[in-house]
Amino acid sequence: MTDEPIFDAAYLESYAGGDAQVIAEVLALFQQQAEGWLRQLDTPGEGWRDLAHLIKGSAKGIGAQALGEVAGAAELADVSHAPGLRAALLDALAAIEGYLSRVRGG
């Protein structure tokens, strides 16, 4: 794994200018996309490296740096890295959900 934070909310908050609605929309889109990525990672096929690359960019764009690092390494490796990428994606989703729960007051 990496020493990068699982989810750096301050990065996304800064990037979105502190706009809570934009942050919520970006994270909701990431969560929706992640559902499909998880299914693809369950049975990774020929486009596996493209998927890892997509996850890397999306993760780094929202401040999920640890996931971005894992995805970047997976993108250069073989399909045996899919379970590790899937686990890192689940970790990021849990961190995002924790953040959303905190900002919603839950």
Given a cut of 70, is residue 3 above it in pLDDT? no
The predicted structure's pLDDT at residue 44: 92
- Would 78 be classed as within a structural domain? yes
Given a cut of 70, is residue 33 above it in pLDDT? yes
Share of the chain above pLDDT 90, in %: 89
- The whole domain housing 68 covers 9-103
Q: Is the pTM of this model over 0.75?
A: yes
Given a cut of 70, is residue 106 above it in pLDDT? no
The mean of the pLDDT values for the chain is: 93
Tell me the CATH number at 35: 1.20.120.160
- Would 4 be classed as within a structural domain? no
DSSP 35: H
Contact 93, 28 (CB under 8 A): no
- Would 3 be classed as within a structural domain? no
